[in-house]
Structure 1
Amino acid sequence: MGTDIHLSIYLDTRRVKKNGKYPVKLRVFVPFPREQKFYNLSLEYTEEEFKNIWETKKPKKEYKEDNIKLNAILTKANQIAASLEHFTTKEFENIFFSNRSVNKNDVAYYYNIYINKLKENKQIGTASNYELSLKSLIAFYGKDMIPFYAITPDWLEKYERYMIDEKKLSQTTVGIYLRPLRAIFNNAIEDKAVKIELYPFGKRKYIIPAPKSVKKALNKKSLSTLYNCPPKSSEQEIAKDFWFFSYVCYGMNVKDILQLKVSNVKDGVLTFKRAKTSRTNKNHLPLSIPLHSFALNVIKKYGNINGKPDEYIFKIINKNQSAEEQHEKIKNFTRLINQHILSLAQSCGIEEKISTYWARHTFATNAILQGESMEFVSEALQHSNLSTTKGYFAGFENEKKKEISEKLMDL
């Protein structure tokens, strides 16, 4: 490692947490080409604690254990940096966060690299999915280290039977756990750590289960019933308001709703870009939605449209929270909506197990039934292709089919 590369322990005081502490990070600075990166160490201290632990030459007894811990982290970082013939931050972080010796034939090695990348990009939910996938694969294999060559089509078939027969899980869950593994294989092949001949997925190999999705759209009658059903509690009222807010805002998901900022609304028009789309397709144009009076009333009732441009409209999350904290708040709020919109629906005789997903699918289906093109709905949902949008459409009811049939002979 060149002597011009600097590693240090750093207290990030830009945003204080609710407990009054700040995150501790490893700072890596490379002067040429100039690059600086900060890696979260999952530690946090107050400024006074950090001073007593790290910035003093002789820490007191109560701070020695933390001092040793930070020194061990810095020593490990320096050793890794010194072992690299050509230092790059990417190669450094691959080794630093793997928590094991470098073994590019190890599935978990590539999982940990990608999980760390997702967390850095604040994709906490996706990172959690990859962690659950890895945990499940390790449990089935019986060892922490899984060589790529061990994962064959036959092994995957056995894993699927284990998940369904022993763990009593669905094929949908199997698919959720194996799609991350397929992505990890692709990463390792791209990195030339795994030969393409070992790839176990695809035609004449192992096909990841993809059960036909259940259509999740309310018909017009059920939608009207839900809208006119009086809430029995304040929680049901909140759930109903935000469910219909999603519906009239082109099926916007809860995360995007809660991340809306004051600057996203101007002259009665909501302009935003899905968080998911902004990562997968940076060239995708923002979506503009003329706000229905119902949506405007929800904003007036629960939000703040007159705040600073960078403030969130709804106060469920705030900009001082970490990505992990925001993820937890969004997940809890989504759970609240799902729990209470379901109980409200059941109280008025709707049998479907509705959730926030249903608002999105219901928008798509009703828009098409009202004559909107599949292309318009695809754009409104910010899908990258029409096949995804078609999966949202619940199809035509018999009454609509009969109406079409009657018109066939209007010659």
Structure 2
Amino acid sequence: MATIKIVLRKNVKADGTYPLAIRYTYNRKTFYTYLEHSVRLIDWDERTQRVKKSYPNATRFNNLLAKAVADFNDKLLERETNNADTSVDAMRSAMVTAKENTFFRQAAIYCDQLRKTGKSNQLSTDQPRINRFKEFLGSDQISFSEITPTLLKKFTVHLKHTRNVTDRTIVNHLVVIRTIYNRGIAAGVVDHKYYPFGKGKITIKFPDSLKIGLSADEVKLVENAELSANENHARNLWLISFYFAGMRISDVFRLKWSDFQNDRLYYAMGKNQKAGSLKIPDKALRILNQYPKSNTHDLVFHDLASLLDLSKSYAVQIRIKTRTKSCNEYLKEIAKRVGIKKPLTMHIARHTFGNLSGDKIPIQLLQKLYRHTSITTTIGYQGNFIHQDADEALDAVLRMN
């Protein structure tokens, strides 16, 4: 007959605690499944297989231990019901597989793939979100089926009232959880029937975000400001982004002299690989002429020149993130100096182009300039900057009074 028991292993750790494990015995053979928790001898009650009241958050911890035993029993019962092997070797293999199929195991695989594919920006934002979910749970051993709509609602309340984060940030946390859940379904480690997202469950909707660009007069203030060398370089990058229809700063850093042919710029946007070309405005040409060509690399700007291999996308993204942060600091000082009250960052160049294009450019042409894959994205984006109809409607109403 099989027996299942929580025991305190005797291999003491450096902090003086002892690891806890589930001991499974069958036909006089035994194996241990470690629970990734350890306690002091003085806090452990061997007879009841529980921690004593002296242990911090004893009730919650004992519930966690009871759940671990219940999960093991469920796995054993499932195998017995299906007339599957319940020997020590078979159960050991089953428990190893179960650990591989937990949410955080799949999360680790997801993060590792982000790292290997060079998506450092996404990794640097998604990893902390995964960690916050783990902190909320107080454990890294949760199955996909346990992630219910009720649990996720509690998590959103926790983020809002304990972490004091914005609604947009809460949605970003849910998106990461949904992404990993979808990957778990695709990998066959969880049944879609447990999916906690969708109609009548957890729905994800991004709140509207306010996008504000500079006015034409404010752009002139930036163009005409007297600046130091480092400030001038940051301004040049910002203006190149603006002059080339709100080019993303990551693509500005990657610009090469070979991208410029026959008075046009040819490049594919890094985010979605949408290719196209643009004429070189005279203002952009005057900036480009400030940067002599190098004998060692083809880059227009020097910011990535220290990297020996630009094909290593992870290192490139890390460098871009660092340089963007540094340039944003200079832009902040420029804004203060010329009296611009709005935020001035590299990404604001894209918003500024949207603001100044307003109702002036057909939406299909804007889609081409922005390199959006879907025109729906362009419509949603440009909606932040089109005000004419609403303004005229407001004036019409007010003229009636």
TM-score when normalising by structure 2? 0.67
Residue 246 (1) aligns with residue 263 (2) = no
Match of 1:320 in 2: 308
The answer to whether the aligner puts 1:350 opposite 2:346 as a matched pair is no
Per the alignment, residue 367 of structure 2 pairs with 378
Mapping 1:111-126, distance limit 5 Å:
111-126=107-122
Question: How far off its partner does 1:303 sit?
Answer: 5.4
Which of 280, 287, 296 does residue 291 from structure 1 map onto? 280
Q: 2:255 aligns with which of 260, 277, 290?
A: 260
C-alpha contact 2:354 2:385 (8 A) present in aligned 1:
no
Give the secondary structure class of the aligned counterpart of 2:171.
Answer: helix
Q: For 1:245, give the aligned amino acid.
A: I
Q: 2:181 aligns with which of 158, 179, 185?
A: 185
Tell me the residue number matched to 1:158.
154
The residue aligned with 2:39 is none
Residue 263 of structure 2 contacts residue 279 of structure 2 at CA under 8 Å; is this kept in 1? yes
Inter-partner Cα distance in structure 2 for 1:386 and 1:399: 20
Residue aligning to 2:331: 341
SS of the residue corresponding to residue 151 of structure 2 reads helix
- Decide whether the 8 Å contact of 2:358 with 2:385 is kept in 1: no
Measure how far apart 1:380 and its partner are.
1.3
State the identity %: 23
Per-residue deviation, 1:300: 2.5
Query: C-alpha separation between the residues in 2 aligned to 1:288 and 1:155?
Result: 49
What RMSD, in angstroms, separates the aligned Cα atoms of the two structures? 2.7
Call closer, same or farther: CA 1:225–1:392 in 2, change over 3 Å.
farther
- Report the Cα offset of residue 397 of structure 1: 4.9
Correspondence for 2:78 = none
Q: CA deviation at 1:334?
A: 0.7
| Alignment check: 8 A CA contact 1:361 1:392 kept | no
2:128 alignment counterpart: 132
Deviation at 1:295, TM superposition (A): 2.0
**Structure 2 residues not aligned, in runs of 5+:** 1-95, 397-401
- SS across alignment from 1:272: strand
Residue 302 in 1 paired to residue 291 in 2? yes
Deviation (angstroms), 1:271 = 0.8
**C-alpha distance in 2 between matches for 1:339 and 1:259:** 20
Partner Cα separation in structure 2 for residue 196 and residue 374 of structure 1 = 39
For residues 201 and 171 of structure 1, the distance between their equivalents in structure 2, rounded to whole angstroms, comes to 17
Paired residues, number: 297
Q: Which residue of structure 2 lines up, in the alignment, with residue 197 of structure 1?
A: 193
- Note if contact 1:235-1:336 (Cα within 8 Å) is conserved in structure 2: no
Matched, 1:274 2:269: yes
After superposing the two structures, state which structure 1 stretch, 237-246 or 121-130, moved more: 121-130
- Measure, in 1, the Cα distance between the counterparts of 2:203 and 2:333: 38
Contact 2:120 2:318 in 1 (8 A): no
Residue pair 2:212, 2:355 contacting (<8 A) in 1 also: no
Distance 2:128 2:140 in 1: 14
SS at match of 2:99: coil
Gaps in structure 1 of 5+ consecutive residues: 1-99, 279-283, 407-411
Distance 1:121 1:303, change over 3 A: farther
Structure 1 residues 350-373: Cα deviation after superposition (integer angstroms, max 9, x where no partner)? 21122122111211232243x211
CA separation of 1:348 and 1:186: change in aligned 2, threshold 3 A = same
2:308 partner letter: N
1:403 CA displacement: 12
Deviation at 1:104, TM superposition (A): 4.6
